[in-house]
Amino acid sequence: MLECMRNDCDRPATEKTPGGGDLCSKHADAFWAQREKTNRDYPDSDIAPAWFDPTYAGERWEEDE
């Protein structure tokens, strides 16, 4: 079973989100809410606004060395 790609989350992934990867229901809800808000605020732009943090919905690599 796939796990949610968000760090610190070990819930099973139930949704595959475009650009967001595999997310659990909780994080998928957050992802879609954020996406909807972005689309509403910037309906004509495919480019994420500067304040949009790609780590919010995507992968984040942490160096641990």
* Alpha-carbon distances of 44 from 2, 25, 50, 60, rounded to whole Å: 34, 28, 15, 27
User: Of the listed pieces 2-10, 30-38, 39-47, 51-59, which binds Zn ion according to CB under 5 A?
Assistant: 2-10
Nearer to Zn ion, 4 or 57 (CB): 4
Q: Name which of 65, 64, 56 is nearest 7 in CA terms.
A: 56
DSSP symbol at 21? E
6 binds Zn ion (CB under 5 A): yes
Interface with Zn ion in residues 23-62 (CB under 5 A): 24, 27
* Chain positions contacting Zn ion, by CB under 5 A: 4, 6, 9, 11, 24, 27
